[in-house]
């Protein structure tokens, strides 16, 4: 956590405004995509976790 804080501080102090803007835009785009596809992501993760649970149940019974 401290490493992340130091990284953010160094990025903030960086005098290259273009670089900081690019990082901010990248984060915004990733968050927007995550929000748009939130339901699909939740369904996919739930499906995969269900498959893993089922496979583990089959493994225990053998």
- pLDDT tens for the chain, 62 residues long, are 778 888 877 877 766 667 778 889 999 999 999 999 999 999 999 999 999 888 887 776 55
pLDDT at 27: 95
Token pair listed for 51: 């498959």
pLDDT at 16: 60
**8 Å CB contact between 50 and 38:** no
Token pair listed for 13: 């102090």
Token pair listed for 42: 């939740």
What's the CA gap between 15 and 21, in Å, rounded? 11
What's the CA gap between 34 and 28, in Å, rounded? 10
What's the CA gap between 62 and 60, in Å, rounded? 6
pLDDT at 28: 96
């Amino acid at each position: 956590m401290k490493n992340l804080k130091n990284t953010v501080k160094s990025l903030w102090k960086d005098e290259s405004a273009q670089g900081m803007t690019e990082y901010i835009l990248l984060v915004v785009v990733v968050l927007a995509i995550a929000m748009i596809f939130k339901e699909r992501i939740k369904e996919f993760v739930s499906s995969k976790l269900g498959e893993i649970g089922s496979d583990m149940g089959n493994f225990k019974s053998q």
